[in-house]
Amino acid sequence: MKISVQRGDFDLGLEVKAFAKNPKIGAVATFVGQVRDVAMTLEHYSGMTEKAIAQIVDEAKARWQVMDCTVIHRHGELKPGDQIVLVAVASAHRGDAFAACEFIMDYLKTQAPFWKKEHGPQGARWVEARSSDDDAAGRWKDPSRKAG
Amino acid sequence: MRLTVRFFASVKEQLGKDMEEIEVPAGIGTVAALRTHLMKRGGDWQSVFSEKKLVRAAVNQEMAQAGAAIKAGDEVAFFPPVTGG
């Protein structure tokens, strides 16, 4: 398991290669988020952010079979096209890997203390939280949404 | 009772500071009570902390609801809803 909140970029291929060598791993699901349209600055709450991500990963491990997992989230100055976030989950089967990866992303967006400030043509502005993100996280509260 | 209070993102900018060590009366036992206490400073404090829905809190680096208890030595943070990912 690896959780990193960092300024620097990451390499998806290297991160997946670094996963535990476990012959039971049959599926790796990954998600990479990128900056869209405008440059931004990402602020975070050092210490709490890492703890919040660790709690989200623990919750995913309680719900699905997760054999290895890496979450990397960048902070600082980012420009359009830059990678912001990586979630990679290894499991025996794709159902658990896909579900855990999506769950971690959905919860990260509503629970991990990061704040985006966009630097658009009209100047800088803090991005407002979207209710659609709360909805995306909320749907996981239904206990039937576990791996079948 | 002494607390460390931290501010992030738009809350930090509006208040013009990211951290403060403050001494509050012992009766300030919840996040909501601390908010009300800070709001009484008036000015920017009044406007930041009166819009309840737009400010979230954490106690000792855990997300906390308005009724969450606070005690001497705690680190309490105030910030807008998160927008990472």
- pLDDT tens for each residue of A22-38: 999 999 999 999 999 99
Which single residue is written with the structure tokens 């920017």? Answer: B44
Kindly list the residues from chain B whose CB atom is less than 8 angstroms away from the CB atom of residue A36.
none
A108 touches chain B (CB under 8 A): yes
pLDDT, tens only, B13-47:
999 999 999 999 989 999 999 999 999 999 999 99
User: Is B17 strand, coil or helix?
Assistant: coil
Domains of chain A in start order, with CATH, are 2-140 (3.90.1170.40)
Kindly list the residues from chain B whose CB atom is less than 8 angstroms away from the CB atom of residue A105.
85
B14 touches chain A (CB under 8 A): no
What's the pLDDT score for residue A145?
A: 64
B6 touches chain A (CB under 8 A): yes
Among all residues of chain A, which has the CA nearest to that of B10? A126
Contact (CB, 8 A) for A140 and A131: no
Cα–Cα dist A27/A24, whole Å: 9
What's the pLDDT score for residue A133?
A: 86
Among all residues of chain B, which has the CA nearest to that of A125? B10
**What ipTM does the predicted assembly reach?**
0.94
Angle made by CA atoms A123, A125, A131, in degrees to the nearest 5? 145
Contact assignment for A115 to B80 by CB distance below 8 Å: yes
Helix axes A94-111, A131-138, angle to 10 degrees: 140
B57 pLDDT more than 90: yes
Q: Which of B30, B32, B36, B44 is nearest to B74 (CA)?
A: B30
B52 pLDDT more than 80: no
- Report residues of chain A scoring pLDDT below 70: 143-148
pTM of the model: 0.92
Q: Which of A126, A94, A112, A91 is nearest to A33 (CA)?
A: A112
Among all residues of chain B, which has the CA nearest to that of A116? B83
Domains of chain B in start order, with CATH, are 2-79 (3.10.20.30)
What's the pLDDT score for residue A148?
A: 41
Distance in Å, alpha carbon of A87 to nearest chain B alpha carbon: 10
What's the pLDDT score for residue B48?
A: 93
Closest partner CB to A115 (pick from B61, B63, B79): B79
What's the pLDDT score for residue B11?
A: 96
Please report, rounded to a whole number, the percentage of residues in chain B having pLDDT higher than 90.
92
Output the six-digit token pair for B68.
């969450």
Contact assignment for A48 to B85 by CB distance below 8 Å: no
